[in-house]
Structure 1
Amino acid sequence: MSKNKLKTEKPESKKAKAAPAPNPEVLKKDKEPEVKVKELVKDERTHKVMGVFFLLLSLYCFIAFTSYIFSWEEDFDKVNRYSTKELFFGDVKVDNLLGRLGAYVSHGFFYKGFGVASYLFCYFFFLLGVNFIVGRRVFRVWRNVKYILFGLLFISMTMSFLSFGAEFPWGGAVGNALNKWGTGFVGKTGTALFLLVTGLAWLIWKFNFDFKWPERKPKPPKPAPVPMAAATATAAPVVPPAAVPEKVQQSPIAAAKGNGLKEDGGVMVIPPGDPEEEEELPAMHLVEKEDITVIPAHIPHTVPLAMPEPEIMAPVIEEEDEEDYTDEELEAAGPMLYIDDKLEKPQELEINQEPVARKKNNAPEVAFEIKPTYNDEEEEEVTPVHTAVSVDPFDPALDLSNYKYPGLDLLANHSADKVIVQDTGELEKNKNQIIDTLKNYDISIQKISATVGPTVTLYEIVPAAGVRISRIKNLEDDIALSLSALGIRIIAPIPGKGTIGIEVPNVKKSIVSLKNLLASEKFQNSTMDLPIAIGKKIDNENFIADLAKMPHLLMAGATGQGKSVGINTLLVSLLYKKHPSQLKFVLVDPKKVELSLYKLIEKHFLAKLPGEDDAIITDTKKVIHTLNALCIEMDLRYDLLKEAGTRNIKEYNSKFTQRRLNPQKGHRYLPFIVLVVDEFADLIMTAGKEVEMPIARLAQLARAVGIHLIIATQRPSVNIITGTIKANFPARIAFKVSSKIDSRTILDIGGAEQLIGQGDMLVSFNGELVRLQCAFVDTPEVESVAEFIGNQKGYPDAFLLPEYVDDKDTEGREFSLADRDPLFEEAAQVIVQTQQGSTSLLQRRMKLGYNRAGRLMDQLEAAGIVGPNMGSKAREVLVKSDMELQEILDTL
């Protein structure tokens, strides 16, 4: 019975304890939100209202002050006569545009204050308004306060001194008091000197002028006597230092350390905090390294403090910058310590948790690292150093000993910022979008890091154990959709790393200026044979390559994606580094307008066929003759290398400058020759095999003798870039192309179709695929460089290639001694004196092309001087003395 009673009473007791059911007709009162003063002060809207207030105050003061300058005489007696109460509440009429309040405020600032220096208060209110509205520190308030305080005292005293006795209060009461004290203490002359020295000292402190006495240039030494044959030979340079702007001419130590008195230097990264987002998404954990150079837009430049642990890095604030931070920023930054006179915040490294798949509520926290970008600010603008050739008995640059290299002042600095600035908020947003997209497909990651480049940011992902790389690779379109970005490219995996890369274009892109690349220490101190400055990597490192080691370069990309600018970048790089005796260009321009800028340097750097007027080749038939002439030049150079016992052009030129080769035997100094073809597809379409065969020969054999090719095309299809050509062009540059097939044609891999254009390119070199932003050089800059070189003394004519005569042009012509070559007698004397009936001997000794030398040999055979052709052996010389030769020549 007791058990039954308990069972029946239990539910009744529960019902008794249960709360009464709510009445749907009775509405509950809404809870009134509590307004906290601290949250109100920190609210973003409060900051914007304050910003608008300060901007309006700045504008109000500016209008009142300006109106006071014109209406002060009419309002002066009214402001002095009436009390403040009468001015505010009476009916007094004033001429100031902003009424009685404007007249009273202006009178207080001008007459009783600092005079015209009061305009600095308008500037101060403007700084505060901009900082409050934008929500971050655009202007450094404390530094500007120091300038404003100095300006108030200096300008008011100076204006009072200059306007002594004037009725208008130019210096105000403060300026008059300072001027009266100064003139009484040191006199008028002493006060004037004090103001002059103070003003100059401030200008020197602010702008750091260079006061250098012009150095006397030493007289050039008299050239040593050179044999006639050597003096006419083509040569390599004694390289003079390039003319660079004064800003560039500083010591490497000063360039490395920077100006310690200026408030620049390193950088600091402090992650922004948002508690609401941290609850929903994994928090960003910064694992900072020793030389971070990514700058959040709202954090000042400070110097990072290196820590013993490579993956623990605390934000660092300099003592002089500590007061620039608000109390809220210092409170949010947490506890700080002073280490080596620097304020440092200790930061703990969070251990990566094991990911739990398919559980969104217990998602692991992903470590996020912003990788350091390569800061070449210390390398920029150093004095150009051109390594001079060691003093040898023969100097190939004596023909143009007064040649001056173009200076960096001829180029424009298109990039305003030397360090890439990337807002941390954008990095955080993209990181969260990537994590959310992968989480939606149950893909967990352990770590994500970001490397900021000029136009692209690389996010490196370390996937969790057991995650297939192909799953992330297949989400390329989904990640692009979530980021709302154009040109997403996934590298899975990154070669040499255990990470997966996601390249995302930056919202704010930076222009890479060629001037900065050429001024860098990496380019100036380069020992490469043919250094070319191509662009910057994603980590902001300058990409300088050696064309001589490529040894040929193939460029492709759709129309308007930067090929012509890329060609100009390569050519200008070589012009800044090489002497005219070291380098010659063969320029092929089917478009007729792209390379015409270089016509001015024809007598310095260009090569052409004998008898041609224009060194820029535009006619397809002349292109065929030029390519075949280059093949003849290549064969001649190989003969010279063979006789000299050398394997490449560098060894041969070294022997020649050391006087170990005799110019009497046909030896000469060999400059590098760079063939540039701007539109290769047009040549293939019009000439076909006639162009492809000599290009293939040059690509296969010309490397050792110093002939290098740069070929560009906008149609990277298989019928244009054949397998024979691709096999001999290991270095390739791909700008943005229209399809994946074109990308595979040029690079043997996809990815070029996902570039964003405007100089964004992929470079395949030394088995590595690198994404670069091409350096930019504008047309007026190229014209300036070409004019600077063209106005100097050059060679009598352009570098002449061997003569080439097409066999089609000589068909049907009968041979006759009456139409013998003008060089017939000279060729006969060379053959008789050497007793060698060799066509290659005539080519070397007389600098002839193969066809002309062959015709001369046929004429000598018809005249009975040499015997018939004997295959690979030299012909027999039938005339043994000069007297016999003269008798034969007299009878002809």
Structure 2
Amino acid sequence: MAATKTKKAASNSPGKKASNAGQNSSMSAARKRNIRLALGFLCLLLGSFFTLSVISYCFTWQQDQHHLLSSRGLFNFLFHDKAPVENWCGRLGAAAAHILVYRGVGIASLLFTIWLGAWGVNLVYGRIVIPIFKWIRWMALGFLFVCPLFSFAFPQMAFPLGGALGNGLIEWTNGFAGKAGSLFMLITVFCFFAFIVFQWDIKPLLRRARKLIPARMPAVNPTGDAAMDDAPTAETASDNNDRFKGFRLDKQDMEAAPVLSETDEEAAMVTGSNNKLNRNGMAEPFVTEEEPEEEPWDGSNLEMTIVERSEPETPVSQPAATGKPGIHLELPQADELVINEPVAEDPAAMEEEPWEEEAYEEEVYEEEEATTDGMLDFEIRTVEEPTAVPAHGSHITVESGEPYDPSLDLPNYKFPTLDLLDETEQGAISLDREELEKNKNQIISTLRSFGIEIQRITATVGPTVTLYEIVPAEGVRISKIRNLEDDIALNLAALGIRIIAPIPGKGTIGIEVPNTNKQMVPMRTLLASEKFVNSKMSLPIALGKKIDNENYIVDLATMPHLLMAGATGQGKSVGINAILVSLLYKKHPSQLKFVMVDPKKVELSIYRLIEKHYLAMLPNEEEPIITDTKKVVNTVNALCIEMDNRYELLKDGGARNIKEYNEKFIKRRLNPNNGHKYLPFIVLVIDEFADLIMTAGKEVEMPIARLAQLARAVGIHIIIATQRPSVNVITGIIKANFPARMAFKVSAKVDSRTILDAGGADQLIGRGDMLVSHGSELLRLQCAFVDTPEVERIVEFIGNQKGYATAFELPEYEGAEDERAEKEMIDLSKRDKMFEECARLVVNSQSGSTSMLQRKFNLGYNRAGRIMDQLEAAGIVGPAAGSKPRDVLITTEYELEKHLETLF
């Protein structure tokens, strides 16, 4: 009985359950993969079969149509009719083509059959190889426009070009509105697809048509008089376009604010920085609410000012909203609530006010007109696309005296547009007066119960957290309020109370309380803001919004390296995507390169499609996203070599940093024949640093520390993320060289102190709530949210464009080959006396480690290490794998004896 209970206990052990769960998950994953492959092959075969049958139907339809119509249904034709058919795919192909073409949509059925095969290809590969969802628009165009068009244009043709669908639609419209009505119906359907579904732009065509008119009619004002002589002309509009050259946009690019004339801009400058423009373009003063004078607290009445600040800048995707004066609301108990309403970012206004890009388009198409002799051709571009795939810096010339433009490597590259991001509505932050009043009373009563008096309390409402700023009475110790953090959290019944005592730069104490209704910060709002679009930063990244609802956009080049930490599921991966998306929207592929390290193999794999645009890798590597620890060591050391090479270029060019060097190169003051070249920024992104430290240790830590110390001046920056911010992962060397820290919610206070050197990260509420330490300030932000489908659309948009011939190649690291050569130089004729005994022990135990040799044979560490190196040189054990035991290459002792005979 005891033995039976022991067996049952062993079978129900946690290790057994974990292994069974792992086996079940792997079996379910394999089952899903097999089902996906089976469905993929089935769709691919059906699509190919139906395509071939439709093509054959175009030639053999007359012979097979007679048998089909004379049979008593398709079932009899398929299984009972013995008459021969001419279709290449037999009776089944003839029946399928009859249904698709004759009874369906005519020749447009090929769109459906090819789409079915493309869907099968995507299922087989397990990813989107062919963008099948974009084909749905073309299929709809074919079914609703091409089919009726064929039926209308060829009414007497025997072959059913339009199918039953086209014939039926044209027959109905001819009877209802005549042939003219059918024609108007076709034009309406075409315009619907052209301007609404496919969003074709007709403005450049109309603009060029206006240029062909020889005489220009004078503009007439609403009163009927001719326009004034100082009205803006085409030349003035062309001059105004210079401010757009730093940030080029497409015709279908992000929605932006209407282009202001010089007169409007001068008016805005004269009125001052506090003035804004209304929807009519007139300057309007921004009304501010003065803070009430401080009054001594009498114990019965306390004034609370609730301030909801908004970002000072106006997004370029909408006209500047007018300022609103403060609203005073009378509350019970003689309390006064002062609300400063923010400037709301209205998504509807973003859509209603399209960006007037007329001036920019006139500049682009003036050169086209000179080359086309007045012909209206929308597809002609000013810069001809090179026939060969460009290499990095392939267009550098010495003879040209014009400034060097690195973007000419890929002259037709288009930046991602804002419509690739989801339109998530973010209305004005709601002010729950009852919630604010309740929290105020709870804070006052809690402090009063401990004998702490305050003079004033102010609330700042943010998207996720409300900051209550209190001014204590004279004689109150700050440490006394700081120690009441748990008591205030208990009375407020809220998670994530954080006390800032005192707030830097203010004479107040802050109490951060999470809101009941939290709001998400969409990435599209930050990227459309004026602060980001007009940013002159080297590497601008949009992280999120502060408590006062101000956009937080910072330059990665000034950080210069970023250390991220947070527990699983708290928004760390979303934060990395927000940083990468910000850089993709702002920097040209010739100006920025990424080196991505992803030990988990799933987080950054989505960016492999932009390999030939933005990624950098070692020569002769197959995978652009680095997942192998050995390749990580080689890549980081290759970045150190790249850093040293760049410092040599800076020394020869007489520049102190990459900015000065690139400015000299752009101005043609550095000769490419002497080895000088344009240096793009390189950003190293490591998703899970703890795994690298566990497997590689010092091999990874030392070169990363060297990069962090020296690489800032040459444009190499590092972003490290980890979910375990312990002291053995984030060592003192790493922390000393990463002044910028970003912490999401962590599980313990010690983790918060490890990453931030301060507490507070353990009090966050998760879901993008984070603390950022940059410089001397510690800010609480709500991270911008960008979903994985949005990133996929952005990466696919970039990957579908023409890129470089190869990815940006890093210098080749020779350290691995040198170590291998040293091991090959080991003289086995001078092997240790204990060599054969140690070899037999390793083979019998199938585990090779230096510590095992020390224990079994009572050897010192140095001698055991030399024997292990000799075993590796002899081919008995594999190379070292960090802290893990070495792989044993020989399985039995008999094989070992034979192997030793061949060696000696």
TM-score (norm 2): 0.53
Question: Residue 612 of structure 2 contacts residue 804 of structure 2 at CA under 8 Å; is this kept in 1?
Answer: yes
Task: Report deviation, 1:758.
Answer: 0.4
Matched, 1:715 2:704: no
Bigger CA drift: 524-533 or 481-490?
Answer: 481-490
Structure 2 residue identity aligned to 1:214: K
Residues 251-279 of structure 1: per-residue CA shift (max 9 Å, x gap): 46799545479xxx99999xxxxxxxx99
In structure 1, how many angstroms separate the alpha carbons of the residues matched to 2:767 and 2:355? 30
Task: Report deviation, 1:440.
Answer: 1.4
Structure 2 residue identity aligned to 1:408: L
Matched, 1:743 2:738: no
Secondary structure, counterpart of 1:215 in structure 2:
helix
1:270-289 alignment to 2 at 5 Å?
282=301, 284=303, 286=305
Bigger CA drift: 451-460 or 391-400?
Answer: 391-400
Matched, 1:700 2:689: no
1:811 to 811, 822, 832: 822
In structure 1, how many angstroms separate the alpha carbons of the residues matched to 2:492 and 2:528? 36
Residues 873-892 of structure 1: per-residue CA shift (max 9 Å, x gap): xxxxxxxxxxxxxxxxxxxx
Matched, 1:783 2:772: no
Matched, 1:396 2:406: yes
1:820-859 alignment to 2 at 5 Å?
none
Structure 1 residue identity aligned to 2:420: L
Match in the other structure for 1:792? 801
Match in the other structure for 1:48? none
1:240 to 232, 235, 248: 248
Task: Report deviation, 1:245.
Answer: 5.7
Matched, 1:729 2:738: yes
Question: Residue 461 of structure 1 contacts residue 500 of structure 1 at CA under 8 Å; is this kept in 2?
Answer: yes
1:568 to 577, 593, 605: 577
Per the alignment, do residues 664 and 280 of structure 1 end up closer, same or farther by CA in structure 2, a change over 3 Å counting?
A: closer
Match in the other structure for 2:75? none
In structure 2, how many angstroms separate the alpha carbons of the residues matched to 1:384 and 1:487? 46
In structure 2, how many angstroms separate the alpha carbons of the residues matched to 1:431 and 1:472? 15
Question: Residue 369 of structure 1 contacts residue 449 of structure 1 at CA under 8 Å; is this kept in 2?
Answer: no
Question: Residue 415 of structure 1 contacts residue 512 of structure 1 at CA under 8 Å; is this kept in 2?
Answer: no
In structure 1, how many angstroms separate the alpha carbons of the residues matched to 2:308 and 2:544? 25
Match in the other structure for 1:619? 628
In structure 2, how many angstroms separate the alpha carbons of the residues matched to 1:426 and 1:445? 20
RMSD: 4.0
1:528-567 alignment to 2 at 5 Å?
528-567=537-576
In structure 1, how many angstroms separate the alpha carbons of the residues matched to 2:608 and 2:463? 33
2:518 to 500, 503, 509: 509
1:762 to 746, 760, 771: 771
Task: Report deviation, 1:809.
Answer: 2.3
Matched, 1:406 2:440: no
Match in the other structure for 1:610? 619
Question: Residue 287 of structure 1 contacts residue 367 of structure 1 at CA under 8 Å; is this kept in 2?
Answer: no
Per the alignment, do residues 243 and 304 of structure 1 end up closer, same or farther by CA in structure 2, a change over 3 Å counting?
A: closer
In structure 1, how many angstroms separate the alpha carbons of the residues matched to 2:715 and 2:356? 25
Question: Residue 584 of structure 1 contacts residue 607 of structure 1 at CA under 8 Å; is this kept in 2?
Answer: yes
1:489-528 alignment to 2 at 5 Å?
489-528=498-537
Match in the other structure for 1:105? none
Residues 99-123 of structure 1: per-residue CA shift (max 9 Å, x gap): xxxxxxxxxxxxxxxxxxxxxxxxx
Structure 2 residue identity aligned to 1:642: K
Structure 2 residue identity aligned to 1:808: E
Matched, 1:651 2:660: yes
Secondary structure, counterpart of 1:756 in structure 2:
coil
In structure 1, how many angstroms separate the alpha carbons of the residues matched to 2:441 and 2:770? 27
In structure 2, how many angstroms separate the alpha carbons of the residues matched to 1:601 and 1:279? 65
Task: Report deviation, 1:690.
Answer: 0.1
Question: Residue 457 of structure 1 contacts residue 503 of structure 1 at CA under 8 Å; is this kept in 2?
Answer: yes
Residues 70-97 of structure 1: per-residue CA shift (max 9 Å, x gap): xxxxxxxxxxxxxxxxxxxxxxxxxxxx
Residues 572-598 of structure 1: per-residue CA shift (max 9 Å, x gap): 000000000000000000010000110
Structure 2 residue identity aligned to 1:402: N
Secondary structure, counterpart of 2:766 in structure 1:
coil
Match in the other structure for 2:848? none
Secondary structure, counterpart of 2:789 in structure 1:
helix
Match in the other structure for 2:32? none
Match in the other structure for 1:471? 480
Bigger CA drift: 776-785 or 408-417?
Answer: 408-417
Structure 2 residue identity aligned to 1:753: D
Residues 674-732 of structure 1: per-residue CA shift (max 9 Å, x gap): 00000000000000000000000000000000000000001111110011110110000
Structure 2 residue identity aligned to 1:625: N
Question: Residue 553 of structure 1 contacts residue 732 of structure 1 at CA under 8 Å; is this kept in 2?
Answer: yes
1:214 to 203, 210, 223: 203
Secondary structure, counterpart of 2:593 in structure 1:
strand
Question: Residue 743 of structure 2 contacts residue 772 of structure 2 at CA under 8 Å; is this kept in 1?
Answer: yes
Per the alignment, do residues 370 and 450 of structure 1 end up closer, same or farther by CA in structure 2, a change over 3 Å counting?
A: farther
In structure 2, how many angstroms separate the alpha carbons of the residues matched to 1:242 and 1:468? 59
Per the alignment, do residues 215 and 435 of structure 1 end up closer, same or farther by CA in structure 2, a change over 3 Å counting?
A: same
Task: Report deviation, 1:240.
Answer: 2.4
Match in the other structure for 1:682? 691
Question: Residue 449 of structure 1 contacts residue 459 of structure 1 at CA under 8 Å; is this kept in 2?
Answer: yes
In structure 1, how many angstroms separate the alpha carbons of the residues matched to 2:417 and 2:306? 42
TM-score (norm 1): 0.54
Per the alignment, do residues 374 and 440 of structure 1 end up closer, same or farther by CA in structure 2, a change over 3 Å counting?
A: farther
Question: Residue 374 of structure 1 contacts residue 539 of structure 1 at CA under 8 Å; is this kept in 2?
Answer: no
Task: Report deviation, 1:413.
Answer: 2.7
Task: Report deviation, 1:374.
Answer: 7.3
Secondary structure, counterpart of 1:397 in structure 2:
helix
Matched, 1:439 2:448: yes
Match in the other structure for 2:607? 598
Structure 2 residue identity aligned to 1:655: K
Structure 1 residue identity aligned to 2:751: D
In structure 2, how many angstroms separate the alpha carbons of the residues matched to 1:289 and 1:687? 49
Match in the other structure for 1:84? none
Match in the other structure for 2:851? none
Structure 1 residue identity aligned to 2:546: K
In structure 2, how many angstroms separate the alpha carbons of the residues matched to 1:638 and 1:394? 21
Structure 1 residue identity aligned to 2:820: D
Match in the other structure for 1:423? 432
Structure 1 residue identity aligned to 2:445: D
Question: Residue 373 of structure 1 contacts residue 452 of structure 1 at CA under 8 Å; is this kept in 2?
Answer: no
Per the alignment, do residues 370 and 651 of structure 1 end up closer, same or farther by CA in structure 2, a change over 3 Å counting?
A: same
Match in the other structure for 2:642? 633
Task: Report deviation, 1:250.
Answer: 2.7
Match in the other structure for 2:72? none
Aligned pair count? 521
Question: Residue 679 of structure 1 contacts residue 713 of structure 1 at CA under 8 Å; is this kept in 2?
Answer: yes
Identity over the aligned pairs, expressed in percent?
64
In structure 2, how many angstroms separate the alpha carbons of the residues matched to 1:764 and 1:565? 18
Structure 1 residue identity aligned to 2:421: L
Task: Report deviation, 1:304.
Answer: 6.5
Per the alignment, do residues 238 and 669 of structure 1 end up closer, same or farther by CA in structure 2, a change over 3 Å counting?
A: farther
Per the alignment, do residues 597 and 590 of structure 1 end up closer, same or farther by CA in structure 2, a change over 3 Å counting?
A: same
Secondary structure, counterpart of 1:811 in structure 2:
helix
Flag structure 2 segments of 5+ consecutive residues without an equivalent.
1-198, 210-244, 269-275, 290-296, 313-320, 365-399, 826-904
Bigger CA drift: 449-458 or 663-672?
Answer: 663-672
Bigger CA drift: 606-615 or 421-430?
Answer: 421-430
Task: Report deviation, 1:653.
Answer: 0.9
Per the alignment, do residues 699 and 211 of structure 1 end up closer, same or farther by CA in structure 2, a change over 3 Å counting?
A: closer
In structure 2, how many angstroms separate the alpha carbons of the residues matched to 1:515 and 1:411? 6
Structure 2 residue identity aligned to 1:463: P
Task: Report deviation, 1:444.
Answer: 1.1
Per the alignment, do residues 468 and 279 of structure 1 end up closer, same or farther by CA in structure 2, a change over 3 Å counting?
A: closer
Flag structure 1 segments of 5+ consecutive residues without an equivalent.
1-209, 220-236, 270-277, 294-301, 307-312, 316-328, 335-362, 815-892
Task: Report deviation, 1:428.
Answer: 1.2
In structure 1, how many angstroms separate the alpha carbons of the residues matched to 2:607 and 2:473? 56
